[in-house]
Amino acid sequence: MFSSLKSKLIFFITLIMAITAASIMYVTHRYVGRAMFEAEEASTENVLQLVSLNIEGKYKKLLSDKIETIVRAERRLKDLSYFYLSGLEQFSLICENGILSREEIIEKSINWLKTLRLQTAIFFVFDQHGLILTHSDPCMNGTYINSLYDMKGRSLASLMQKSVFKDTGEFAVYLSKKSGKNTSSKKLGFFVQFPKWQWTLVTAIDFDDIEAETEKKMEKLVEMLKNTFARIQIAKTGCAFLFNGKKNMIIPPRWCQDMNYSTLKNAQTGNLLLDDLIRTAKSNSDAVYYIKPADGNNLFLEARMSYFKALDWYIAAVVPVQEIRQPAKNLVTRQSLIIAMIFFGASIVAFFLMHRISRPLNILTSYAKELPSHDFTAEKEKESPLENLPGRFKDEVGRLAESFIFMKTELRKNIQQVIEATATKERLQKEAAEESNRAKSRFVANMSHELRTPLNHIIGFTELILDKEFGELNPEQEECLTEVYNSSNHLLALINDILDISKVEAGKLELDLSATNLPMILKQSMNIVKDRAMKHRIELSLNIDNIAGTINADERKLKQILYNLLSNAVKFTPDGGKVCLSARQTMCNVRTGLRETDSKDFKIILDHFEKSEIAHSECNTAVEISVSDTGIGIKKEDLERIFNPFEQVESDANRRYQGTGLGLSLTKTLVELHGGKIWVESEGIEKGSTFRLVIPM
């Protein structure tokens, strides 16, 4: 998989990038994701705070408006009371001056008080017994203040007796019940005493009006809040809602307006949902989770709570949990996408870069691989892409290529020097060997010549004795001498062979060519082996076919060739076998030995030779001579070998036969000296053999 530098580098770059990407994703997911989640939660919290602040602000405004109204009313009530007091003071002064009696003046002052008409305020005076002396509502005249209660339900009359009024008067909110009616109305009254007559003056206004006004403002406030809540958006679908401590939904959630929330349960806890929300708000807990009601998607909601004590209001900011996590998820997805794209792009760029970097390295590698089999002996070097690298790359690759080229040039130089040195050495060795061989051959030739002279004497004198020139011989003598004669002849033949071989090696064997009568030579050769053949009951036959007559050959050498082949045939044919000598005229390529008639191969070879350096003249009229026998045969693998000097096929069969292994070698040399060719054909052991030779005519 990583067999190349390119794939390794790409793998490592990819690995580093993958680790980086994984780390970024991990960090994003773990820290940034969490931070975003927290930010989203904080924003929900902020919305909640803002809503709370908004409500608080509006509530304060409402409160301050109410207080202002009350202060204004109080001031008015006070002014009125002081006015009445000053009037009564004047009346009391008249009494003190003795102009009118106390009863008269009281009556007059009551009458005066009755004449005073107030549009929106109530005015009444009661004495120390709580008897209302005058009241802006005439039907209250003559009644007691027992029907007045404070907000805690205590009788105002009893309180009046106990309490000590400030001289400047005091404000109080009380409940007034009209006589004969069950309903009571809330009043804000200013109570101030007129100590001279132990009267108490009360100016009051209807507090329910102020409250109704506040209530109206409150409704407006809720309306405004509804608008605000409608515009609030937390995450995608999150919203806020408002309910009070009595579990009345003041501003319901946007998504379920008409639901009865007071009975709705939180499936998570089994409690009433609003109870859970109230508990969370009061305990300042983080959030409460519940499944969105009337929604089949099982959407989880996270509610953050705030409690506004002044109004006993609970504000909830609700958002689907999924949506809080969504931004973090989106970020991770977007980031993954960008990383994947960068990853992909970087991989492609890396691949092309690696390809660019590795291409010259590949050239260098393949060149290094090819170097051992490079032919440094060739005259001219082949153009290689390596040569262009130093020009194209000025970096390490270029320098490496330069070193390669330098190495190649040096190698070529060295190898050629070695080749030249070896060639010279071999030539010298060959010349020395040839010279020593020639010297040896000269020596053997001389020796053979020296050996032949005494041997000829031995043969000559033995012949004379056997011809009984020196008298009769007894049979033992004759047998012994015959043996001497035969052995001497054999020895002479041997020496002749050695002499001939030596001559060949010494380059001294020359042919004495003349017009030779081939049929006659063939017959004479047959006669030489005739006796031996008869002795072994071997049938000899001679076929001469279409021979023109004479042949240009060395007669003695031709006889020697035929004698060697025939004597081998007789020697290696068991008793009762057959030996046949045949001769015919043919067209023949003397190099290949193929005849025109043999096959179409001959033509092909001829064509081939015509195109090559072998001249057409090599195919000419020739005589083909064959010696075939029914003898021991020759193995296929030995067919070539037997023509080598001293080569004898080692087998049990021919070990019985005498021989030196020189005959066929010499025969081959003699045939080739005549410009011919010799070969042997045999189907194998015990299948006989045919020695065939062609000699141009």
Least distance (Å) between residue 598 CB and ligand ADP: 22
Segment 126 to 155, residues that bind ligand ADP, using CB under 6 A: none
Least distance (Å) between residue 521 CB and ligand ADP: 19
Site string for ligand ADP, 559-598 (x = CB under 6 A): -----x---xx--x--------------------------
Segment near ligand ADP (CB under 6 A); pick from 76-84, 92-100, 210-218, 658-666: 658-666
Coil, strand or helix: which one is 433? helix
Segment 665 to 694, residues that bind ligand ADP, using CB under 6 A: 665, 689
Segment near ligand ADP (CB under 6 A); pick from 81-89, 262-270, 326-334, 654-662: 654-662
Token couple for 298: 């099982």
Phi, then psi, of 635 in degrees rounded to 5:
-65, 150
Least distance (Å) between residue 605 CB and ligand ADP: 28
Least distance (Å) between residue 499 CB and ligand ADP: 16
The owner of tokens 């605000």 is 228
- Of 100 and 580, which has the nearer Cβ to ligand ADP? 580
Least distance (Å) between residue 635 CB and ligand ADP: 10
Least distance (Å) between residue 414 CB and ligand ADP: 47
Residue 147 near residue 176 (C-beta atoms within 8 A): yes
Least distance (Å) between residue 575 CB and ligand ADP: 15
Token couple for 56: 């608080």
Coil, strand or helix: which one is 356? helix
Coil, strand or helix: which one is 48? helix
Least distance (Å) between residue 486 CB and ligand ADP: 16
Site string for ligand ADP, 631-650 (x = CB under 6 A): xx-x-------x-----xx-
- Of 455 and 685, which has the nearer Cβ to ligand ADP? 685
Token couple for 377: 């002996």
- Of 502 and 689, which has the nearer Cβ to ligand ADP? 689
- 525 counts as binding ligand ADP under rule CB under 6 A: no
Cβ contacts of residue 390 below 8 Å, gap of 6+? 398, 399, 401, 402, 405
Residue 176 near residue 144 (C-beta atoms within 8 A): no
Out of 345, 507, 661, 684, the only residue in the binding site for ligand ADP (CB under 6 A) is: 661
Cβ contacts of residue 176 below 8 Å, gap of 6+? 147, 148, 184, 185, 186, 187, 204
Residue 408 near residue 384 (C-beta atoms within 8 A): no
User: Which residue is closest to ligand ADP by CB?
Assistant: 659
Coil, strand or helix: which one is 570? helix
- The alpha carbon of residue 685 and the mean position of all alpha carbons in its chain are separated, in whole angstroms, by 68
Least distance (Å) between residue 687 CB and ligand ADP: 10
- Of 401 and 501, which has the nearer Cβ to ligand ADP? 501
Q: What are the C-alpha distances in Å from 307 to residues 55, 246, 315, 374?
A: 11, 13, 6, 95
Compute the distance between CA of residue 551 and CA of residue 695 in angstroms, rounded to an integer.
Answer: 9
- Of 304 and 571, which has the nearer Cβ to ligand ADP? 571
- The alpha carbon of residue 395 and the mean position of all alpha carbons in its chain are separated, in whole angstroms, by 29
Segment near ligand ADP (CB under 6 A); pick from 56-64, 397-405, 528-536, 653-661: 653-661
Compute the distance between CA of residue 534 and CA of residue 540 in angstroms, rounded to an integer.
Answer: 9
Least distance (Å) between residue 682 CB and ligand ADP: 7
Segment 311 to 350, residues that bind ligand ADP, using CB under 6 A: none
Out of 187, 205, 629, 670, the only residue in the binding site for ligand ADP (CB under 6 A) is: 629
Compute the distance between CA of residue 663 and CA of residue 673 in angstroms, rounded to an integer.
Answer: 15
- Of 389 and 642, which has the nearer Cβ to ligand ADP? 642
- Of 150 and 681, which has the nearer Cβ to ligand ADP? 681
Nearest-5° Cα angle at 684, 682 to 685: 125
Segment near ligand ADP (CB under 6 A); pick from 241-249, 303-311, 415-423, 627-635: 627-635
Segment 356 to 415, residues that bind ligand ADP, using CB under 6 A: none
How many CB atoms neighbour CB 73 within 10 A? 22
Token couple for 238: 């999150």
Please spell the DSSP secondary structure of 281-340, one letter per residue.
Answer: HHTT-S-EEEEPTT-TT--EEEEEEEEEGGGTEEEEEEEEHHHHHHHHHHHHHHHHHHHH
**Can you give the binding site for ligand ADP, defined by CB under 6 A?**
564, 568-569, 572, 629, 631-632, 634, 642, 648-649, 654, 659-665, 689
